[in-house]
Structure 1
Amino acid sequence: MMRLYGKKILITGATSGIGFASLKRCIEEGAFIIFTARNAEKVNQTQQLFPKQCLGFVHDSSDFSKLESLADFLIQHHIELDAVFLNAGNVLHASFGQWTENMFDQVFDTNIKAPFLLLQILKNRLHPHCSVVLCGSTSIHIALEQSSVYAASKIALRSLVKTLSRELLNEKIRFNLLSPGPTATAALDKVSTSEQERQALKTQIQNLVPIGRLAEATEIADAFIYLASDESRFVIGTELLVDGGVANL
């Protein structure tokens, strides 16, 4: 029996990296996926790969003027959600002293403000027992150089899954945080503003992993399958670390 058979699941930022791996794994487990990304060409390409098993929507999570368009899209297609993976994020890293107000706002707007406001808008499209998964980061547990603003935005999500789980407890909607460790995706190329800093930071990150390698995106996706499935129905308001031991060893 497929673990997500018949479930309708929303995944944001789903055309690359962890989001795309999660989309593929959910489809393999029998789910129908509603997915978003900013790039229309990539949305179309992904839609063509799985024409009967997903429905794509071009959407920028950080454009607050258009957040309601996603809810309208779900209503238009008569879709209520059994699980949500708010995976879209901004991974900008920079040294203290290099941050501008605009850079700071970009990270916080995408990583915490957008998920919170989007969840408010989507609340009436969530089935009872819906599993909402926010994408965290093992960076919230370690003092990685240049990660100050990024890690601060992700630790805010850690608080959010606790408070919203309590606030919506009677509505049987549960929230959890999925925190990947260093993962081999294109996002690693965006963690800094110069090539020299980027390469130095990537080497530093890889050396942090006790298991001695980066995660594959499919390994993070497998953890999302668990959180989206009924297997995790007793898991609420917590964080699942999938980080090769970075935070604990």
Structure 2
Amino acid sequence: MNGLDKVVPDPAEAVADIGDHASLAVGGFGLSGNPMVLIEALLAQGASGLSVVSNNCGVDDWGLGLLLGAGRLAKMTSSYVGENKEFERQFLSGELEVELTPQGTLAEKLRAGGSGIAAFFTQTGVGTQVAEGGLPRRYHPDGTVAVASPVKETRTFDGAEYVLEDAIRTDFALVHALRGDRTGNLVFNKSARNFNPLAAMAGRVCIAQVEELVEPGELDPDQVHLPGVFVHRVVEVGTDIEKRIERRTTRMEV
């Protein structure tokens, strides 16, 4: 293969150079589209003190919850944290720093980072602690606030107030895709598309696990969701990987 071949032989090699205290953008929404094989490989690899940007932190025994439960995370930047009891415990005890971010703002921070945009103005959060500061990010063990969110710059455009949000760039990105070719072009499946393309864009080194690996030219260019320019490593994980459902809701048949 030529120099554009980004395929690595296994997940362990794909995450081998993620060091202690690295920052990561991780795809997924709830348990949909989590790059579980890469998360498990990183768990086995042993890196700690990680700062992770992801929509949520999984649940106690799945998704990023695996790294959290092993004490590998130092900070989470998320928009939703409601399904993980260990997350709550670590945050309230002062073991974990948490930067809560409105979901749409988080998505745009990742996209902007990958697009070379340093910051942007948005109306989301104006008039709240998102803009005015004071949101607890880390507690002392005694329950007092150790680190609080800062005051952010605001500006008026056309009579409306906006708050300035910094873009996000991370050392690495971990994402899951349905299909990818050797040059890194990716196709995502339905709701698993969620934060995966945005996380991929934000990582200086993007590692993609794909269920199916195809040769260059086999993907219809009009169907590619993320071009290979954003992807640096591709590892095939197969189609029989476990995919959990976060909440199964049923009703009685009438």
Greater strand percent: which structure?
Answer: 2
> Do Structure 1 and Structure 2 share a fold, with TM-score over 0.5?
no
Q: Which range, TM-score by smaller chain?
A: 0.3 to 0.5
Greater helix percent: which structure?
Answer: 1
